[in-house]
Every structure is written in structure tokens, then in C-alpha cells.
Amino acid sequence: MFEKFTQDALIIWATIDPIGTLALFAALTAHLPTAERRRTAIKAIVYAALVLLGAIVIGQLLLNAMGIRLISFQLGGGIILFLFGLQMIFGSGAPPSRNDPEHDIAVFPLAIPATATPGAILAVILLTDNHVHSIAVQAVTALIMLAVLAITLLLLLLAGRIIKIIGLGGASILTRVMGMILASLSVELVMNALGIEKWLQTAVP
């Protein structure tokens, strides 16, 4: 059982990717004052926690009821991530308005899909399979997920020091770099969902 929980922790850490979330957060919140940046970090992690806990509790049941395969999350999330990556690369670099709730960066892209990534949603659903694991085991996996989110929040709260070091110009560059990384990651998600990567590995000698 210890081996299962260790594996769960590694998988959840890899799919949530706190370091990658930190880099994106630092780039997108460089223009915000310290207090607003702190609120944005807390909101993003709370939203991500609610999404992932919801996936653990009802995700599998909901998908089965709707006839949606789990891999569809990976494909759809990859497309969304790609579009946002392009916006970061070719956009004007102007931050979204904080007064417009439709552009709350704590929700998108920080909570979804940067923290509660399609991979993380898939992972927590699979790691808490109702047909395989007991309620107690699923609860421990949920606690592991919350612990990873707590570490992510701690890193986000320290992002202000990073912004002071790199400055607004560095943050603008970081935004473009993160856009390229997100676009590349989205391509990987789509290729994995469609099975293209495995096909290429078998087709190329």
C-alpha cells in the first residue's frame, strides 16, 4: 500500500507540475500588486482543489453516465492549452482586466488548465477508481493531492520575490517562453490522446 501511495504522489506531482505553474503564475501576475497576487494564488489553488476533488468524487460516475471516455479530456484539454499558448506567444502582452470576471486569471488559465490540468484530472480519476480502491484508499489519495496543491500554493506565494528579480521585462519574456512550452505540451497531449506518438515509435525504424 505504501508503494501505491508513493506512486500516487509522484503521478499527481508530475501532472499538477507545481514548478511549471509557478513559472506561469509569475509571468501572468507580474503587473499585480502584492496583495492582489496573493489573493489570485489562493483563489487559483482553491478552484483547482475543488475541480480535482469533484473529479475524485463524481468524475468517473459522470463520465460513465454521459458516455465520455477519459481520453477525451486529454484531447480537449490539449486543444485549449494550445490556443492559450498561442495567445501568450503572439498576444500584445497586456494583462487581462481584473474588473472583468470573464478574464479572471485565477480561474483560467491558473486553476484550469495550469494547475488542475487535463492530466491531473485524468490521474485522480484513475488513481481513485471506484471498482478497484476502497473509500479509505481513495481518501488517502485525495489527501496526497491536497498536499501537492498546498506545496504549489506555497511556491505561488513566493512568486513575488521572483518577479522582483526578473522585472516586468523579464516577465514579458517569461510569458512568451511559457507560451511556447504550453503549446508544445498541448501537442504532446493531443498526440498521446490520438496515439500518434506510439504509432511514430513503431513506424520509424
User: In this predicted structure, what is the pLDDT of residue 63?
Assistant: 75
Our CA angle for 191, 117, 38, nearest 5°, is 145
Q: Which pLDDT score, from 0 to 100, does residue 94 have?
A: 45
- The answer to whether 101 and 194 have CB atoms below 8 angstroms apart is no
Cα–Cα distance, 200 to 202 (Å, whole number): 5
pTM of the full predicted structure?
0.73
pLDDT at site 144: 97
Q: How many helical (H) and strand (E) elements, i.e. helices and strands, does the chain have?
A: 9, 0
Say what the pLDDT of residue 77 is. Answer: 67
83-119: buried (b, 16+ CB within 10 Å) or exposed (e) per residue? ebbeebeeeeeeeeeeeeeeebbbbbbbbbbbbbbbb
Q: Mean pLDDT for each 10-residue chunk of the chain (205 residues)?
A: 89 85 86 92 97 92 78 73 78 50 81 87 85 90 97 93 76 76 77 68 55
pLDDT at residue 102, rounded to an integer: 55
